[in-house]
Amino acid sequence: MNERLLLLVESNTTGTGRLFARRAAELGAVPVLLCADPGRYPYAAEDRLRTVTVDTSDEDALWATVRSLEDGATVAGVLTSSEYYVPTAAALAYRLGLPGPAADAVRACRDKAEQRRILTAAGVGSADFAVVSEVAGALAAARGIGLPVVVKPVQGSGSLGVRLCTDLGEVAEHAGTLLSATVNERGVTAPGRILVEEYLTGPEFSVEVFGTEAVVTVAKHVGPLPVFVETGHDVPAALPGEQEIALRETAVRAVRALGLGWGAAHVELRLTGTRTAQVIEVNPRLAGGMIPELVRRACGTDLVRAQVLAALGAAPELERGRHARASIRFLTCDQDGILAPSAALHEAVDRARTVPGTVEALLYRGPGEPVGPAEDFRGRVGHVIAVADRAGRAAEAAGRAVALLGEAVSYADLHTEEAYA
């Protein structure tokens, strides 16, 4: 029997990576994970996902591996759930004559400096910025833009390396740290350039776009500065009509300006006025942070399934089938602590699940593991999801449940016997 393969080029480590593979199987395709290090993705072994080890940064090696898979099988689609590998997957899909985003557009979008240039040229509202390759340039940019400024990598994901700097000393220190890195957290060569940006204030949202259609607007919650760790989302955002329109229209304009328009795009924005939406950044991929799962539970729209269908050359299904509200809250810590023994962990999770409306409560780490203040998404310890008929009820339930989940953390001194053994 000739198998239809959906190739998954690397993955994110949590959330939608696993869902991509499951949706592919539900649609009759065989998911195959192509990755340099299978150990990075524990779900692959747990789900018995077919995995092929290959250097995904080597185009020739990747192509040879793909051609070898075509013996007795048909490659029907190529996708990735990892932002770092969207250009690789797009280029591979194009080379195979399969559906996907324009590889050049994705590469430009992934470079946040080039993305800013394109959006500015198209008149799409976004922050003032400068691209620099040395600390002196970062200091000059901060003086020109005006403090405080956001200093961040030109490539990255999950708020990694993004920091608000309130004085020139902080600018110099953080710029120096970013510029001294030779590779990023995925082992990919760092480009040696960073962004210094105007700090946009106002409530933060995302618009989940599919093709050139704004599917849903998401209210985002961000933890304490100077970092920008997302601590929760509400779907759909409860907004006055004019603000909803401003966010949606700006997001679609940004997607069009960047030459995207195939599959999912996650557009992050701030409302800096009653009807003024400013783009923080456009990500040419499905949202992370469990947002697709919130959209499915609140709206009945399965964005993961839609993305897989598009990759397989079928029409995506974006119809809204529900009118509920869904909220997620992530468990983060404001000081060093340690997770409780196994029994106490299970008890905390069970208590969180008893909150009316809570449909999911998870801890990401095991008994006795240390935790500390989150610098980026990797510092999140767990999450809860709540669903209700009103936005306020879902958000309240999620807040109560995550507080109960937090009882799994002890803040005793890790260097004394007071800490959990």
Active site residues: 285
Percent helix, strand, coil in the chain (nearest 5)? 35, 25, 35
First to last CA, the chain: 54
Cis, bond preceding 226 (omega within 30 deg of 0): yes
Residues 6+ apart with CB under 8 A from 226: 163, 164, 165, 166, 170
Q: What is the CA radius of gyration of the chain?
A: 22
Q: Please say whether the beta carbons of 269 and 247 come within 8 A.
A: yes
Look at residues 217, 221, 267, 219 and name the one whose alpha carbon lies nearest to residue 244: 217
DSSP string, 97-113: T-----HHHHHHHHSHH
Cβ within 8 Å of residue 175, ≥6 positions away = 132, 135, 138, 139, 151, 194, 196
Alpha-carbon gap, residue 307 to 351, rounded angstroms: 35
Give the separation between CA 197 and CA 413, rounded to whole angstroms: 38
- For 236-331, list the strands marked E by DSSP: 264-271, 277-283, 325-331
Crossing angle for the helix pair 16-26 and 303-311, to the nearest 10 degrees? 60
Give the type of residue at 113. Answer: A
